[in-house]
């Protein structure tokens, strides 16, 4: 068994198409039905490269790569494993180390796995990666009534732009709509609610309605760090649920929260939210080992 670097798009595509995905990190970043699949493969071939373990006959046993999303920061894609070969966590460790060593020790490699569907703990332990947080994808299907603090919640107005922009930029860093894009999108199906108190914007929530599919999504929401644990986020969520279910033909509302605090996530049950998916996030930095 040896490790090589691949640059043949067709060979990579064919292997991924028939591979075992059970231990593949960031699997949802590479949907093969998506029109950008080919372009994404070409990007990772260029940087950081696609690395594979091959047997004595040159057959691929395991394959790994990564997406760059910021300077010295990558999201690991894989490993994709042959369905017909036997591999172990030590094989993964060896393959990943080849990928990691192709970059500086300061480079961060991030992993994401669906908790209930994937096998990953042994792999993460072997390379000494650390748990970062969990992305919880939640879903609610009923109105729980409105909050008593409705008077503090209002639709976005241009006068709130500076405060909203500052809070949004502070809260969300990567692969998100900008404050300008959110404001420009606002209409009867894209609504932005702000929590105002003492002349301050203490939180906001961006709601998107898709009546054709009878669904809605709480795309972004946040409360100011100086006013956390005061119920502002729950008031905004309660208000958004009530507005959506009372005024639109929808059956479900989805939203995602990032947290290490399982007790906090459990509190969302009070609003009728259940966990739909959980993605466990891990981080590896060679310089920290």
Whether a cis peptide bond, with omega within 30° of 0, leads into 79 is yes
Q: How far is the first Cα of the chain from the last one, in angstroms, to the nearest whole number?
A: 26
Question: CATH classification of 142-250, choosing from 3.40.50.2000, 3.40.630.30, 3.50.90.10, 3.40.50.10790?
Answer: 3.40.630.30
Q: Do residues 115 and 25 make contact, with C-beta atoms less than 8 angstroms apart? A: no
The CA distances from residue 286 to 61, 97, 106, 279, in Å, are 25, 9, 7, 23
Any idea which fold 2-135+282-288 has?
Aminopeptidase (3.40.630)
pLDDT of residue 36: 72
pLDDT of residue 262: 80
Structure tokens given for 147: 């909050």
For residue 174, give the DSSP letter.
S
Write the CB contacts of 28 (distance below 8 Å, at least 6 apart in sequence): none
Secondary element (H or E) of residue 3: strand 2-6
Fold match, 2-135+282-288 / 142-250: yes
Q: What residues form DSSP beta bridges with 218?
A: 207, 255
Of 50, 159, 145, 108, nearest in space to 289 by CA:
108
pLDDT of residue 231: 81
Instruction: Split the chain (289 residues) into runs of 10 and give each run's mean pLDDT.
Output: 92 92 87 66 94 92 94 95 85 94 96 94 94 96 87 95 94 88 98 93 96 96 77 91 96 93 83 93 88
Q: Where are the domains of the chain?
A: 2-135+282-288, 142-250
Secondary element (H or E) of residue 168: helix 161-171
Q: Do residues 126 and 96 make contact, with C-beta atoms less than 8 angstroms apart? A: no
Structure tokens given for 250: 């929808």
In angstroms, rounded to a whole number, what is the distance separating the alpha carbons of residues 116 and 22? Answer: 11
Task: Assign 74 to helix, strand or coil.
Answer: strand
In angstroms, rounded to a whole number, what is the distance separating the alpha carbons of residues 83 and 159? Answer: 58
In angstroms, rounded to a whole number, what is the distance separating the alpha carbons of residues 110 and 132? Answer: 9
Of 94, 47, 96, 52, nearest in space to 67 by CA:
47
């Amino acid at each position: 068994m040896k490790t090589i670097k691949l640059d043949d798009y067709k060979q990579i595509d064919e292997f991924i198409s028939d591979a075992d995905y059970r231990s593949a990190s960031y699997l949802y970043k590479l949907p093969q039905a998506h029109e950008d699949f080919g372009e994404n493969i070409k990007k990772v071939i260029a940087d950081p490269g696609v690395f594979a373990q091959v047997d004595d006959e040159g057959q691929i046993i395991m394959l790994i790569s990564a997406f760059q999303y910021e300077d010295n920061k990558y999201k690991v894609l894989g490993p994709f494993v042959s369905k017909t070969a036997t591999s172990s966590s030590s094989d993964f460790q060896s393959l990943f180390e080849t990928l990691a060593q192709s970059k500086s020790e300061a480079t961060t490699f991030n992993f994401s796995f669906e908790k209930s569907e994937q096998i990953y703990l042994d792999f993460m332990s072997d390379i000494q990666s650390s748990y970062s947080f969990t992305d919880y994808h939640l879903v609610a299907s009923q109105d729980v009534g409105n909050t008593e603090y409705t008077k503090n919640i209002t639709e976005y107005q241009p006068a709130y732009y500076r405060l909203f922009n500052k809070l949004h930029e502070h809260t969300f860093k990567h692969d998100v709509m900008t404050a300008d894009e959110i404001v420009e999108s606002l209409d009867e199906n894209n609504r932005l609610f702000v929590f105002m108190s003492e002349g301050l914007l203490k939180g906001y929530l961006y709601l998107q309605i898709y009546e054709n599919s009878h669904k809605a999504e709480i795309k972004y929401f946040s409360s100011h760090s100086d006013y956390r644990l005061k119920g502002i986020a729950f008031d905004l969520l309660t208000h958004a649920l009530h507005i959506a279910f009372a005024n639109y033909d929808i059956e479900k509302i989805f939203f995602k929260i990032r947290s290490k605090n399982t007790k906090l996530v459990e509190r969302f049950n009070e609003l009728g939210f259940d966990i739909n998916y959980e993605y466990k996030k891990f981080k590896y930095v060679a310089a920290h080992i």
